[in-house]
Amino acid sequence: MTGIVELDDVHKTYRTGTITFEALRGITLSIAEGEYIAITGPSGSGKSTLMNILGCLDVPTDGTYHLGGEDVSRMSEKDLAVVRNKRIGFVFQQFNLLRSMTAQRNVELPLMYAGVGARERHTLAREALERVGLGDRTHHRPGELSGGQQQRACIARALVTNPDIILADEPTGNLDSVSTHDVLTLLHELHDQGRTIVLITHEHDVAMEAQRQVQIYDGLLSEGAHV
C-alpha cells in the first residue's frame, strides 16, 4: 500500500424502498502522494458518489478505503469528522463560504474545529490567504469578493490545515474564463509544491490540466479521459 489514497473494490449501493441502485460497482484506485489527478464522467456516472467517499462524507457499502494509511471505510461520523478536518481540504463549486464571516474567519473555521489556538489560527489563515493572493482581502466578507476571489478564499480554507489531499469538486463550474484560468494556475502551483490534488470535473479542458486522468462511467473506472 503505497498511495496516499487506496480504494480497493469499493461498492456503493443505495436502497430506496424496494429499489436498489448500485452507484459504484467495484472501484479500485490508487493515488500517489503529490499526484494531480482528474476524475471525469457524465452526470449519473457515480462521480458524485465517488467524490463523497473520497471526501469521507460517506462510507462505502463494500470494499475498503485507506486515506493516508488509515482505514476510513468503516468509521463512525464522529471519527470521519476528524479525518475530514485533518486530511482533506475541500474546494466546492458553490464555494460554501459563510456569508456572515470575513474571509479570514472563514479560513480559520477548520482550524477552529481542530482546536488550534486563536493566535496560531490567525497567523495560519493569513498566510493561506496571502498564498492565494488575497492578502489584502482578509477582512472582506464573501459578498464583497468576486467569484474568482471567493474560490481562492475557498482554496485557502482547503490549504490551511495542510491536508493529505485537496479535493476540488467542479472548482471552475461557477467561474468565468479569466477566473477559471486563475484558479487552474493556482492548483498547478500547489501541485508543483508537492500537494496531492484530486480534481472532479465534467469539462474536458479542465481535466486535461491534470497530470493523470481517470474516467468513471456506470460506476466503473477506466484510465484516460474520454469525455
The residues binding other proteins (CB under 8 A) are: 52, 55, 57-58, 77-78, 81-82, 84-86, 90, 92, 96, 98, 100-101, 109-110, 112-115, 157, 161
Is the CB of 51 or the CB of 216 nearer to other proteins? 51
Is the CB of 36 or the CB of 90 nearer to other proteins? 90
Measured distance CA(69)–CA(4) in Å, rounded: 7
Is the CB of 55 or the CB of 68 nearer to other proteins? 55
- Considering only CA atoms, which of 31, 115, 107, 39 is closest in space to residue 81? 115
* Least gap, CB of 78 to other proteins (angstroms): 5
Q: Are 157 and 129 in contact (CB under 8 A)?
A: no
Is the CB of 65 or the CB of 92 nearer to other proteins? 92
* Least gap, CB of 116 to other proteins (angstroms): 10
DSSP per-residue string spanning 121-158: HHHHHHHHHHHTT-TT-TT--GGGS-HHHHHHHHHHHH
* Least gap, CB of 55 to other proteins (angstroms): 7
Measured distance CA(23)–CA(62) in Å, rounded: 12
Residue type, 198: V
* Least gap, CB of 36 to other proteins (angstroms): 22
Measured distance CA(106)–CA(179) in Å, rounded: 20
CB neighbours (10 Å) of residue 98? 11
* Least gap, CB of 211 to other proteins (angstroms): 26
Is the CB of 76 or the CB of 177 nearer to other proteins? 76
